[in-house]
Structure 1
Amino acid sequence: MISGSSAAVAPGLLGVVAEAIGEPSLPMSLLSSIGDVDSADANYALWHLSRLVHDDPQLTAAFDAGLNDVLSRVTPQFTGEWNEFLVEFGSRGPDEWDLRSPTWETHPQLLLAALDRVRLQSDDESPHARHREKATQRDALIAKARVALSDKPDIAPLLDLGLGAGKMMAHRERTKTSIVRVLHEARVAFRELGRRHGHDELVFQVLDSELDAYIANPSSFTNKLTKRYKEWRELFDLEPPFIIANATVAPLSEWARKNDNLVAVAHTGDALVGVAGSPGTARGIARVVLDPGDPGDLEPGDILVAPCTDPSWTPLFMTSAAVVVNVGGQISHAVIVSRELGVPCVVSITDATKRIADGALIEVNGTTGVVTIL
């Protein structure tokens, strides 16, 4: 809570500084490449794995042949480093707060799909090099801001306060990583319990109060768990209320169905305004990806358009020229990792995955928060 709250004030403090010196785009640049961000570390490690594949004809051929059983065709060195990666980062995955959600360890295909895209990137696009470049730019901007604040004694202290608060973003990410690792230990145990009793996914429908009875007689729960699972899956077709007031939630029968939400596709010349996340500008082909385990045609230089992101999505950032996300704020995971990797990012463009056509040529301005259809 402390790290999250402290990190949240950084954009505001630096925003006051930026306004005082006439540099409105300054905050996101000053919060770039702060270093020691756990959610970015997995990307650096995956980049190393991608270079092993990129530089080895045998590994390249193994991946070119398809991802099915690819791990049976790789070199012993790759196998060793792959296993080390899973020990360190295997707890990460989409919706990783949820025990039921797959992770890189429980479902390695998720990670292989990302690696298969990153291996196509050239060495020139190393995230390490991008990080160093952005860090150098940030240091220069800090020095410039200090000069501009020399005659503003009331505002000048806010610069260091904002920079200090910005460093708390790394602590915020560390907090989440620590919690996720503990949750993953429980996840693995539940998955094994479900596997033993033929309830691979159903086991996550067991209530805490039912655990002892379930372990004593798993088969007696099959019908009950199947019914719960069906009802739970039906929720995925509904659009939850955007705001809940006074702890009052409308009955499910009144929730809109996601397929009923028709959104017009943006056309050439349209400018979609979101929240500036990571500075920089990029042009490229938009690739709408709804599942990090299925990146489709995403190629180096394309622009990733995603519904939301967590650390399991971020390896795809290393293939992308820029990132656009339906939701998020200035300290969301997409933004923090984008700034660490030096990738322009715009978040909070409502329905971006529906408004931006897959294959469209777009320009992303992560400094102003504007995405233009070209």
Structure 2
Amino acid sequence: MSYILKFRDIGVEDLRLVGGKALNLGILTAAGLPIPPGVVVTTEAYDQVVGSLDLGSPELAADPAGARALVMGAAIPDDIAKAVRQFGDVPVAVRSSATAEDLPYASFAGQQDTYLNVIGGDAVLDAVHRCWASLWTDRAVAYRAANGIDHGVVRLAVVIQEMVQSEVAGVMFTANPVTGRRREAVIDASPGLGEAVVSGAVNPDHFVVRDGRILERRLGDKRMAVRSLAGGGVERVAAEHDAACLTDAQVLALAELGNRVEDHYGSPQDTEWAIDTDGTLWLTQARPITTLYPIPQGPPGLRAFFCFSLAQGLTRPITPMGISALRMLSASISATVFGSPVADPRAGAPAFHEAGGRIFVDLTPVLRSSLGRALVPRVFDVMEARSATVMRGLFGEPEFGVTQRSKRPAIRRGLRLARKFRVLPHAVQAIANPEKARRRVAQLGTDLKARLPLPPGVTPLDHAEWLLSTQMIPLVPSILPAAAPGFIMLGLAGKLLGAKAKPGELASVLRGLPHNVTTEMDLELWHLAERIRKHPEATALHDNPTRRDLPPLVREELDGFLTRYGDRTVAEIDLGLPRWREDPSHVIGVLANLLRLEDPSLAPDALFAKGAAEAETIIADLARRAGRLRGPLIRFALDRARALAGLRELPKYYLVVALATVRDLLWQVGADLAERGAIEKPDDIFFLTLPEAREGGDLRTTVTKRRDDYTRELRRRHIPRILLSDGTEPEAVARTTPAADGALTGTPASSGQVTGTARVVLDPIGAHLEPGEILVCPSTDPGWTPLFLTAAGLVMEMGGANSHGAVVAREYGIPAVVGVPHATESLKTGQRITVDGTSGTVTFA
């Protein structure tokens, strides 16, 4: 049995034998980096000691204390004890090294135990035994559960490493963990052993280094130090260290060492280091930095990427096939909107990028264009205000200086597009005759649906790609000339009214807005609940039934709703996700919530009607204030705003209907691949790409890896809205200043004020929202909006005044503030908060 291995004998294939920490120490030793000598007690020894204990049982996983007691009570075979005791002649550090540790997606930092300055054979053996038991601490078990790692397959090795009696020690990240900027070393240092810094027991000196220059130097008080005791163990001693504990030369030497480590691994690293009494620099540990967001792979030079996924209300990753379909749609946008056909549509437009399962768009051409700077941030102001702020903050960066000053090429492209899709005649028609414009766009949807069925003799994959590449995107410029005039007329009214319109009044004109397909869907869901309420079987919905378990009358009512709206779902731009007609559990859950609503005054249709009446009252009042000459024009403009603005949801709705058909077609492709053994089951197709589906072959390993990656990304909480190609997240650099009174601030989205209980919801599927609670969420797409039916107010981390959630909140007449940084972290379920949708603030009641 290989109970003991020296660092220099560890190979890259030995993770299961030595664990993550020891594997890295072996790799770094082989690379010639300054690693203190040591050995690892392998997992073979751990297996010999605990192999008969059945530690993977669910009972022990639920009882970590019991598991630890079993391990500590297990006898250590004599041959293992003898092999370990021989390393007690010099002071050593004894450190746990789990097989699920220091991985690219989970560091497990500090989850198992470490013992410092261990002296004597028996003490080393006892420390090794305690390390084995520490695999079953509460924190280690919880961490594995949070990262989806099976307790039964994790094993533990133990590092025994010569102690560095350091004068100064600490940690170093080779990329900035706060801003994300790569190749920027962040160093924390304190006198004594590094445990003081690692454990957070001291305010260390802090240094930031980039390109051989110290950019930041912030000295901590360093009032405590950890020192080795002569007989073994360590002590904490009071200290006085007002001066920096590192010289500039030592700081730069550390940064250079960090570069060497990162270059060796090819990715940013979290390292621990020590400088001994002779001034020698030692590297005591390195692990991947697992919290950095992956960088989209774009052209050389500094680039700025905008997260399109977040702008669409998605914090979750998109399935690989969903991304592949969006690539083809981006190629269609490039050809249709910009007149630039893409050589390989399956590869997507040049501006299309993917990272971490999210879609990013290269903003660099916009930032370098005078016209782009003038127009795009203004669009973002009403769609995603926080991103607009970040974008403007990049205007002063030299790398994004304007290189395209002439507006003529873009204007020519715009005019060609306008002529092609008859934008001006359609816009004029919409203003002159809204009803005729609505009939025109409805016919566009009817025509699209007629082209969706699979024609005879055409393969499902060919038809899916034809729909994606030619039939969907042209709908957008065809429909927008009917919806955009509504917002133009609203803006015109605002200009004419000037100071005569009070804050929030113009936005209130859009309350109870008609002709919005998503609002109509939500109200139909309410009417469905009202019809179901009359059935004696309605109480069955409170038991979270499946569709099959519903009483026949309730199932019949539900099926009627799904016939019209079953192509929708949460995160619906991802065709890899089941539609409601496939899995209506979310709709059933929403219906159960609606059946709890007893107060008629809070009924969604009553609130909608009330909002519409208030909008009409405000229009009349604004027209009166405008005076005899401007009043009729104000009334006309605001009437047209109400008649047309609701059509903004139609382009996406039609795209979603088409995506549902593409999903059905790809399911057929998946069924064929599964029958041929290329994949295990039909829905594995959604973890492939369109080219892979066409090529075939054995794709099972690819699917397995993609599913694992997707599952890990589902756990990621923070997604950058704008990300630079050097890893910097500009919003993190800016560090939003909190309001002086402790209020959270964002963009006013729906006027009014409400005080209520917060309900933080990260995923709408299965979410429970009591009538009158305030919904706090990252963002929304139409799949979220049924929750709005019982919400008293809305707080979103994303969005602007014209983002989807803001529009629907206005239509329901509930106060809303959007674009509130870190709202889901700052607010907790059960807190009493006040949402002021007029001022854009959220305060604690």
Which TM-score tier does this pair reach, normalised by the shorter chain?
Answer: 0.7 to 0.9
- Decide whether the 8 Å contact of 2:623 with 2:634 is kept in 1: no
Cα deviation for residue 41 of structure 1 reads: 1.2
Matching residue of 2:704 = 226
Q: Counterparts in 2 of 1:1-374, with a 5 A limit?
A: 1=477, 2-3=480-481, 5-6=484-485, 9=488, 12-17=491-496, 19-60=498-539, 62-64=540-542, 66-69=543-546, 71-74=548-551, 76-122=552-598, 124=600, 125-150=602-627, 153=630, 157=633, 160-161=636-637, 163-165=639-641, 167-191=643-667, 193-194=669-670, 197=674, 198-199=680-681, 201-214=683-696, 217=697, 220-236=698-714, 237=716, 239-243=718-722, 249-250=724-725, 254=727, 270-296=742-768, 298-374=769-845
Q: 2:749–2:816: 8 Å Cα contact kept in structure 1? A: yes
Gapped runs of 5+ residues in structure 2? 1-476, 675-679
SS in 1 for 2:782: coil
Secondary structure of the 2:640 match is helix
Amino acid of the structure 2 residue aligned with 1:227:
K
- Classify 1:200/1:119 alpha carbon distance in 2 versus 1 (closer, same or farther; 3 Å): farther
Aligned-residue Cα RMSD (Å) equals 3.0
Shift of 1:174: 1.6
Cα–Cα, structure 1 residues 34 and 240, in superposed 2: closer, same or farther, change >3 Å? closer
> Larger C-alpha radius of gyration, 1 or 2?
2
Aligned CA distance change for structure 1 residues 186 and 255 (closer, same or farther; 3 Å): farther
Question: For 1:321 and 1:180, how far apart are their aligned partners in 2?
Answer: 28
**Aligned-partner residue type, residue 51 of structure 1:** E
- Residues in 2 aligned to 1:11 and 1:226: alpha-carbon distance in whole angstroms: 51
**Cα pair 1:14 1:26 within 8 Å, conserved:** no
Question: Do 2:512 and 2:811's aligned partners in 1 also have CA atoms closer than 8 Å?
Answer: yes
Aligned residues of 2:619 and 2:638 also touching (Cα < 8 A)? no
| Cα distance per residue 1:185-212 (max 9 Å; x no partner) | 1113334544672345531232222323
Q: Does the Cα contact within 8 Å between 1:10 and 1:166 map onto a contact in 2?
A: no
Cα gap change, 1:203 to 1:30, in 2 (>3 Å): same
Query: Which letter maps to 2:620?
Result: A
C-alpha contact (below 8 Å) 1:326/1:349 kept by paired residues: yes
**Structure 1: how far apart are the matches of 2:790 and 2:501?**
34
Kept after mapping to 2: 8 A contact 1:92/1:312: yes
2: CA distance between counterparts of 1:285 and 1:367?
19
Distance 1:100 1:299 in 2: 30
The 3-state SS of whatever aligns with 1:150 is helix
CA-CA distance at 1:325 after TM superposition: 1.2
SS of residue matched to 1:185: helix
Greater shift after overlay, 235-244 or 94-103? 235-244
- How many angstroms apart in 2 are the aligned matches of 1:136 and 1:114? 27
CA distance 1:332–1:47, change in 2 (3 Å): same
Q: Which moved more, 1:228-237 or 1:286-295?
A: 228-237
Question: Could you say which structure has the greater relative contact order, defined with CA pairs below 8 angstroms and 6 or more residues apart?
Answer: 1
Q: 1:136 to 1:8 in 2, by over 3 A?
A: closer
Q: Residues 238 and 354 of structure 1: is their aligned pair in 2 closer, same or farther, counting only changes over 3 Å?
A: closer
Return the alpha-carbon distance in structure 1 between the equivalents of residues 820 and 538 of structure 2: 39
| C-alpha deviation, 1:53, in angstroms | 3.8
TM-score after normalising by structure 1 = 0.83
SS in 2 for 1:72: coil
Cα deviation 1:198-232 (Å, max 9, x = unaligned): 34553123222232333xx5xx1111222233344
Q: Sequence identity, in percent?
A: 29
Q: Which moved more, 1:189-198 or 1:104-113?
A: 189-198
Deviation at 1:339, TM superposition (A): 2.1
- Count, aligned residues: 353
Residue 5 to residue 121, structure 1, CA distance change in 2 (3 Å): same
Deviations 1:73-129 (A, max 9, x none): 42x322211111111011111221111123312221121122221111125122222
- Structure 1 gaps of 5+ residues are none
Name the CA shift for 1:44/1:241 in 2 (closer, same or farther; >3 Å).
closer
Are the structure 2 counterparts of residues 342 and 200 from structure 1 closer, same or farther at C-alpha, using a change threshold of 3 Å?
A: farther
Higher strand share: 2
How many Å apart are 1:313 and its aligned residue? 0.8
TM-score for the superposition, normalised by structure 2 = 0.39
Deviations for 1:54-87, whole angstroms, at most 9, x for unmatched residues? 3434321x123x213364242x322211111111
The question of whether the paired residues in 1 share the 8 Å contact of 2:754 and 2:793 is answered with yes
8 Å contact kept, 1:17–1:159: no
Q: Is the 8 A contact 1:303 1:324 kept in 2?
A: yes
- Once the two structures are TM-superposed, the CA of residue 277 in structure 1 deviates from its matched residue by 1.8
Change (3 A) 1:162 1:330: farther
8 Å CA contact retained: 2:774, 2:795 = yes
Shift of residue 9, structure 1, vs aligned partner: 4.1
Distance 1:329 1:8, change over 3 A: farther
Question: Using the alignment, how far apart are the partners of 1:255 and 1:203 within structure 2?
Answer: 34
